[in-house]
Amino acid sequence: MPKQQMLELFSMINIVVIAAISLGLSTVLVGLVLRLSHLYAWYDMKDERKIHTGDVPRLGGLGFSLAFILVAMVLSFNAAENYYGFRFLPVIIGMFLTLLFGILDDFKQLAPRTKLCGQIIAALLVVIPDYTFHSLFFAGPGFFRNLNWLRYPLTIFWLVGMSNALNFIDGVDGLAGGVSLLAAAAYALIFASFTGTSSAVLFCVCLAAIVGGFLVFNLPIPKARIFMGDGGSQFLGFMLAVLPLLNKGDAKPELPLFYAAALLMIPILDTTAAVWRRVRDHRRIDSPDRSHIHHKLINLGFGARGVDAVLYSLQIALGVLVFVSVRVSGALSAAVLGTAFVIGIGFFCAVHFLNQRAMKCLPAETPVSE
């Protein structure tokens, strides 16, 4: 067998082994948290946004987040690239800090200002070692050429925003976890198409596998046995925001801002809509409601599995379009990326207007989502 083929085979085996270890570790730790949650009655608190009934443990995120942190520490110090190792240590501390604040919020609802401070500190731990966006498109630095300092506040806003965004779609069994797994898998394929089996690919595969271990307990088959909680959703959002920043240390990031935003359009658009609703209605931005994308799909007659199927399909479509857009160049790349944004925005607008139409057909006393 030629040397190149042997290296490729070794890389594939390496990926499979890391994925299997991550999946197994996550499954074991989430299962342990499930048992402890029932033992100590660590159940999810209900509010206006929640649609589940009964007592369901809420700390699944503790299990899979600890699993990822452990594997990430090993990967970072065994990476072939000098871009990781001790330089990546602040990012791992940021992961742990994000998880810690999220778990504290699960047990005792933290003040929004306190959560925001924790998220900003975690974001600073990422940008200090220069894990930042370097461009908006693959065409070159462009926007940042004369405004290089802007990449730091922009990356912090991206990290803090995504840390909160995934929590908004965590309202149906398997939804936030499934969307995260598909996004991480898309990241892995994109990075592999650039550099082969790099450390960035292994981080993405690891995250996808660890979320898979959580989904063993969270899919609606027939219903979820544990939720990820705020700790899990904030941690996943933070990590999905970190992944496109894992470049090789040169001036060109692996995935510029607009490509990453297109890939994570589902939580981004749902968060944008939620913030707009609350500002419009003069409510607190963190106030719960039943007007998220999954609530509107439920109003249209979809059950939990149907909601998952629809939004998983949208996430796969976005992943394919982003992958194609980074593999082509010039006007064709911009056209494919633009198509991804049109499909995502068009889907949200269509669901919104169909939901409004459905509301008008219901009796006035019927509780629905706006």
How would you write the pLDDT of the chain (370 residues) with one tens digit per residue? 565 655 565 577 888 999 999 999 999 999 999 999 999 888 876 655 555 456 789 899 999 999 999 999 998 887 656 567 788 999 999 999 999 999 999 998 899 999 999 999 999 999 999 899 888 877 555 555 556 788 899 999 999 999 999 999 998 999 999 999 999 999 999 998 887 767 888 999 999 999 999 999 999 988 899 999 999 999 999 999 999 998 654 444 568 899 999 999 999 999 999 999 999 988 888 788 888 999 999 999 999 999 999 999 999 999 999 999 999 988 899 999 999 999 999 999 999 999 998 877 765 544 433 3
110: left (phi over 0), alpha (psi -120 to 50) or beta: beta
Is residue 230 included in any domain, yes or no? yes
Task: Provide the pLDDT for residue 119.
Answer: 97
Q: Output the six-digit token pair for 60.
A: 């699944």
Angle at 290 between CA 309 and CA 162, to 5 degrees: 70
Is residue 188 included in any domain, yes or no? yes
Is residue 366 included in any domain, yes or no? no
Q: What's the chain's Rg over C-alpha atoms?
A: 20
Largest pairwise CA distance in the chain: 72
Domain that holds residue 239: 3-260
Number of domains in the chain: 1
SS3 category, 364: coil
Task: Provide the pLDDT for residue 200.
Answer: 87
Asked if 64 and 214 count as a contact pair (C-beta separation under 8 A), the reply is yes
* 350/212 Cα distance (integer angstroms): 30
Mention every residue, 6+ apart, whose C-beta is less than 8 A from residue 293: 169, 266, 269, 270, 273, 311, 348, 351
Segment holding 232, helix H or strand E: helix 229-242
- Residue 65's nearest CA partner among 188, 230, 221, 218 is 230
- 43, β-bridge pairs: 57
Alpha-carbon 259 to chain mean position = 14
Is residue 298 included in any domain, yes or no? no
Mention every residue, 6+ apart, whose C-beta is less than 8 A from residue 91: 125, 126, 129, 131, 242
Place of tokens 């070159």: 140
Task: Provide the pLDDT for residue 85.
Answer: 72
Residue 222 has phi, psi (to 5 degrees) of -80, -20
SS3 category, 86: helix
Q: Output the six-digit token pair for 208.
A: 């996808």
Task: Provide the pLDDT for residue 368.
Answer: 39
Residue 78 is given by DSSP the state T
Task: Provide the pLDDT for residue 248.
Answer: 55
Is residue 238 included in any domain, yes or no? yes
Task: Provide the pLDDT for residue 205.
Answer: 95
Is residue 193 included in any domain, yes or no? yes
Asked if 33 and 217 count as a contact pair (C-beta separation under 8 A), the reply is no
Is residue 345 included in any domain, yes or no? no
Is residue 352 included in any domain, yes or no? no
Cβ contacts of 362-369, under 8 Å, gap ≥ 24: 368/299, 369/289, 369/290, 369/291, 369/292, 369/295, 369/296, 369/298, 369/299
Buried b (16+ CB within 10 A) or exposed e, 87-112: bbebbbebbbbbbebbbbbbeeebee
